[in-house]
Amino acid sequence: MKYKENKMQKKYSVVFIVRKINDLDHMLPLICKFAKEGNFVRVMTLDVKKIDNYLTNYMYGKHNLKVETPVVNNINKISRFLVFIFDKFIILAENNRWHTLLKYLKFIYRYTKRRILSREDFKDSAIIDYDNTDIIIVDKTNVIKNKIYKNITKHASVNNIPIIRLQHGIDMRLTSIGDNSDLLVHDYGNKVFDIYYSIVEIYQETFSCREECCGKKIGKNEIKTFVLGNMRFSKEWVKKYKEIEEFDKVSDPQVDIKKHNIVIIISAPHFIYADKVASLLNAVSDRFDVNIIYKPHTRHKEIDLRVKELLNKNVRLIYSYKNTASLMSMSDIVLLCGNSSVALHAVIDAKPVIFAEYTTMHPTYYSKYLKECTSMSEDEALSNIENILYKNIKCIKNNSKKKLVSAFINPNNSKDIIEDYYNLTCDLIHTQ
């Protein structure tokens, strides 16, 4: 790529758009890279709620970047109040298992959001200054269902601005390959508008199933797919996370320092067997004198109610909203129930991890690459916990770790994955 020689001669205007604040995690490495190189960077979320966390704190503290919230800033007080009320009622309905009410509340909530996002003041180019934007970077989402995204892509096409779509996580399910290989292809086809999209995929394993997307066209432009690896779980960024953690204002969980710490990570409710998760937590509490620290899923306030109702009264979960990386640092064991990719952080950081595969509805890549850490039954999970805590048996083999990293994090054996993303982005700007 010829542009690598010239990229330092010009600074660019880059717009990052995240669906939800919690999805910022995977974009942050590239955001910080562009800011560090002196480019003009804007970061915005098209959510109807304004949320700050340690990631936004870090971004502002290190690079003086604030997350823009155009929807929140432009909706009236009544709409803002409705969103707030619906949030509260949905939590109340979930906690009390009011299934019928919950069903209608969620329907009304989704309808309200669609109405908010379809307002006239979001249909023009007011959100982004297209005359002074070189590239737009969005996270992977179903853009056809979001009218703001849809209109942004229209304006980008007219102004010949490239759009890069990044993954906002890694789906570790073995059975998920190809089920949503590319929402742009399936949702847009050739019927919407001419647009240049560059989809930067992070998978090597699934790439063969996604090759069908390469060369397909949206309008007159080809979809281009690049496999670069994963910035969030790259070795360099996991090290950087020690610095990021300092911007977390949430207090450390109050634990008994004389006990071992087991951090429990549970995937979203629709990915797990609640009875098996509850049974495992009951058994851990009965068998081991440990602190059981539970980090709620980013889209849920507390543990799945189906799990909660099956827990014994003597089970004491220590809830913590501290960032997951910090909790992993203080843990003796990270126990994953589900398919969350966040466990990759523990793997890279050489923390003991146990994957309770039998608790998830879908087989995962963890069982393929880290068999020695995978438990296929409750007895096996308990045995693995005992081996780590009291027999000092290491779980992850170096060879297994290397294969997993090669498949999902660094498929090209790159010296700097973040730099690769930066160079590619600059090249795509240059080619326009």
Q: For the segment 273-303, what is each residue's pLDDT rounded down to a tens digit? A: 889 999 999 999 999 999 999 988 766 666 7
- The whole-angstrom separation of Cα 288 and Cα 275 is 20
Q: What string of DSSP letters covers 35-91?
A: HHTT-EEEEEE--SS----HHHHHHHHHH---EE-HHHHHS-HHHHHHHHHHHHHHH
- The whole-angstrom separation of Cα 424 and Cα 55 is 24
195 and 165 within one domain: yes
| Tally of structural domains, the chain | 2
Q: Which range (21-25, 58-62, 274-278) has the least confidence? A: 21-25
| 111: in domain | no
Is-contact 432 171, C-beta < 8 A?
no
308 and 274 within one domain: yes
Domain range enclosing 22: 2-75+119-234+412-430
Tokens of 426: 């600059």
**CATH number, residue 297:** 3.40.50.2000
Is-contact 406 230, C-beta < 8 A?
no
- pTM to 2 decimal places: 0.82
pLDDT confidence band for 30 (50 / 70 / 90): very high
Confidence at residue 85, expressed as pLDDT on a 0 to 100 scale: 72
Residues 6+ apart with CB under 8 A from 195: 153, 154, 156, 157, 163, 188, 218, 219, 221
129 and 25 within one domain: yes
| 419: in domain | yes
226 and 123 within one domain: yes
Helical segments of 175-273, H only:
183-188, 207-210, 235-244
Which of the two residues, 258 and 88, has the higher pLDDT score?
Answer: 258
| 257: in domain | yes
281 and 204 within one domain: no
17 and 155 within one domain: yes
| 144: in domain | yes
376 and 316 within one domain: yes
330 and 420 within one domain: no
| 90: in domain | no
| 129: in domain | yes
Determine the average pLDDT of the residues in 106-110.
Answer: 70
425 and 304 within one domain: no
| 91: in domain | no
Is-contact 45 18, C-beta < 8 A?
yes
pLDDT at residue 23 is higher than 70: yes
| 244: in domain | no
368-377 per-position pLDDT tens digit: 899 988 999 9
323 and 215 within one domain: no
> What mean pLDDT is reported for the chain?
78
Confidence at residue 198, expressed as pLDDT on a 0 to 100 scale: 46
162 and 36 within one domain: yes
332 and 221 within one domain: no
